[in-house]
């Protein structure tokens, strides 16, 4: 069992009701043996989206697929800088469990903002430095790094929400990014900045730090301007493919795994793949799902599990990583705690029906609400019980993900 703070141990003892069956054995889970899959160290580059990826990036792809057979990494968006009630310091996950998350989520939003001047005194540039330093810290701890991109729309660069745009802007913005479109060059400049940052992510030995990138996420909804109402499936595929090709072939970015990350609207394999750009462009098959787990009880957990089963089976067949790329239930003044949300509903969602997932990411905590409880929260014991279950892995339990063993 993990080493937990004295306070957390008290919470566990008096409040968790955690049975011995929920606890992990002393040894950490290991990478699954390679005979369980057609994937081998020798053929791994034939399945990855970038055959010229760095060795460490290839190892991350290989090891996450193997890891998913025995456990999943538990992470959070902006874990090192977003805290409930602005209680800074260690991540809220570490405050509650005694260990850092296994995965850190970041965003290119401020990095590519039009107001980022690159000057030391510029707030947006300061955020860029914070974000990139966090990525380096996470990698030094053996953690996984993943980026989303809340890209501002190209007309005014003020918002990523479709609700802030006119009908004409919504109908034309995404299409304008495509080759030959009015904002194609604008989009390439944004990708140039992304590439500059990715290529500059180096560890202490000046080696590139691998990251997962999930462009145009939650595309099956229409709250973002790249959503399903504003482009056809082929237009979406074209933009996704251009993004990957431009980064790896034009900008020589070779430290990225690419994630396909819809929301939870699909119910069939065909629906999930309706905007899929192809195996040559995708390494991670993911899903963001808040709705099915938003106080929907066991019925919601069952729906979420069925959707994860679809992508898990697809990932197994296509030799890809499967993941729950975003989820959570935000506790606020108006949203009370759901008892056993983590240890029962979420864990069952992620593990039932022979599902194999490599990671789960909770959204960031904020001053007014939390997705991951702090030690004084009434559901802290529930999260600790979830974290201590057999398949849940925090940073201290991760194997070496960046090297492939002999």
Which residues lie below 8 Å from residue 311, measured CB to CB, with a gap of 6+?
Answer: 272, 285, 286, 287, 322
Given a cut of 90, whether residue 271 has pLDDT beyond it is yes
Torsion of CA 283, 248, 207, 326, to 10 degrees: -40
**pLDDT grade for 15, boundaries at 50, 70 and 90:** very low
pLDDT digits (tens, 9 = 90+) for 322-372: 999 999 999 999 999 999 999 999 999 999 999 999 999 999 999 999 999
Residue 123 lies in a domain: yes
Q: What is the mean pLDDT of the chain?
A: 93
Residue 38 lies in a domain: no
Q: Are 217 and 148 in contact (CB under 8 A)?
A: yes
pLDDT digits (tens, 9 = 90+) for 90-140: 999 999 999 999 999 999 999 999 999 999 999 999 999 999 999 999 999
C-alpha–C-alpha distance, residues 115 and 104, integer Å: 25
**What confidence score (pLDDT) does residue 31 get?**
54
**What confidence score (pLDDT) does residue 208 get?**
98
Given a cut of 60, whether residue 11 has pLDDT beyond it is no
Residue 36 lies in a domain: no
**What confidence score (pLDDT) does residue 145 get?**
99
C-alpha–C-alpha distance, residues 295 and 335, integer Å: 9
Q: What is the pTM of this model?
A: 0.92
What is the H or E stretch that residue 195 is in?
helix 184-200
- Structural domain of 296: 6-29+44-397
**What confidence score (pLDDT) does residue 20 get?**
37
Residue 249 lies in a domain: yes
Q: Are 190 and 199 in contact (CB under 8 A)?
A: no
Residue 37 lies in a domain: no
Given a cut of 70, whether residue 14 has pLDDT beyond it is no
Residue 35 lies in a domain: no
CATH of the domain at 183: 3.20.20.80
pLDDT digits (tens, 9 = 90+) for 155-211: 999 999 999 999 999 999 999 999 999 999 999 999 999 999 999 999 999 999 999
Q: Are 304 and 295 in contact (CB under 8 A)?
A: no
pLDDT digits (tens, 9 = 90+) for 361-397: 999 999 999 999 999 999 999 999 999 999 999 999 9
The residues assigned a catalytic role are 218, 326
**What confidence score (pLDDT) does residue 405 get?**
81
Encoded tokens for 376: 């004084």
**What confidence score (pLDDT) does residue 51 get?**
97
Residue 405 lies in a domain: no
Residue 196 lies in a domain: yes
Strand, helix or coil for residue 210:
coil
The number of domains in the chain is 1
**pLDDT grade for 32, boundaries at 50, 70 and 90:** low
Given a cut of 60, whether residue 30 has pLDDT beyond it is no
**What confidence score (pLDDT) does residue 34 get?**
43
C-alpha–C-alpha distance, residues 71 and 24, integer Å: 11
pLDDT digits (tens, 9 = 90+) for 221-268: 999 999 999 999 999 999 999 999 999 999 999 999 999 999 999 999
């Amino acid at each position: 069992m993990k080493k937990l703070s004295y306070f957390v141990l008290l919470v566990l003892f008096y409040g968790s009701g955690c049975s011995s069956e929920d606890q992990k054995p002393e040894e950490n889970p290991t990478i699954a043996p390679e005979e369980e899959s057609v994937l081998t160290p020798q053929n791994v580059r034939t399945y990855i989206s970038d055959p010229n990826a760095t060795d460490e990036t290839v190892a991350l792809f290989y090891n996450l697929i193997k890891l998913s057979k025995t456990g999943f990494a538990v992470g959070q968006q902006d874990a090192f800088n977003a805290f409930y009630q602005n209680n800074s310091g260690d991540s809220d996950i570490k405050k509650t469990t005694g260990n850092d998350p296994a995965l850190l989520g970041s965003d290119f939003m401020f990095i590519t903002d039009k107001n980022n001047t690159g000057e030391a005194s510029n707030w947006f540039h300061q955020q860029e430095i914070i974000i990139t330093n966090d990525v380096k810290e996470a990698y030094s701890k053996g953690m996984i790094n993943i980026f989303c991109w809340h890209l501002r729309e190209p007309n005014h660069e003020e918002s990523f929400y479709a609700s802030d745009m006119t009908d004409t802007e919504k109908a034309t913005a995404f299409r304008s990014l495509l080759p030959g479109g009015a904002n194609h060059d604008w989009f390439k400049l944004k990708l140039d900045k992304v590439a500059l940052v990715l290529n500059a992510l180096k560890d202490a030995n000046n080696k590139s730090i691998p990251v997962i990138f999930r462009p145009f996420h939650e595309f099956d909804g229409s709250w973002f301007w790249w959503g399903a109402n504003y482009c056809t499936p082929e237009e979406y595929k074209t933009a996704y493919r251009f993004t990957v090709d431009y980064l790896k072939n034009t900008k020589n970015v070779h430290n990225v795994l690419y994630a396909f990350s819809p929301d939870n609207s699909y119910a069939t394999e065909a629906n999930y793949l309706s905007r899929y750009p192809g195996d040559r462009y995708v390494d991670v098959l993911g899903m963001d799902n808040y709705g099915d787990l938003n106080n929907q009880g066991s019925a919601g957990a069952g729906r979420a599990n069925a959707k994860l089963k679809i992508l898990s089976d697809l990932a197994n067949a296509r030799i890809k990583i499967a993941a729950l790329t975003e989820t959570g239930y935000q506790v606020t003044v108006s949203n009370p705690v759901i008892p056993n949300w983590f240890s029962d509903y979420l864990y069952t969602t992620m593990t039932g029906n022979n599902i194999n997932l490599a990671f789960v990411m909770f959204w960031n905590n904020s001053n007014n609400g939390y997705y991951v409880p702090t030690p004084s929260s009434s559901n802290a014991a529930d999260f600790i019980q979830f974290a201590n279950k057999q398949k849940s892995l925090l940073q201290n339990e991760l194997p070496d993900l960046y090297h492939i063993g002999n």
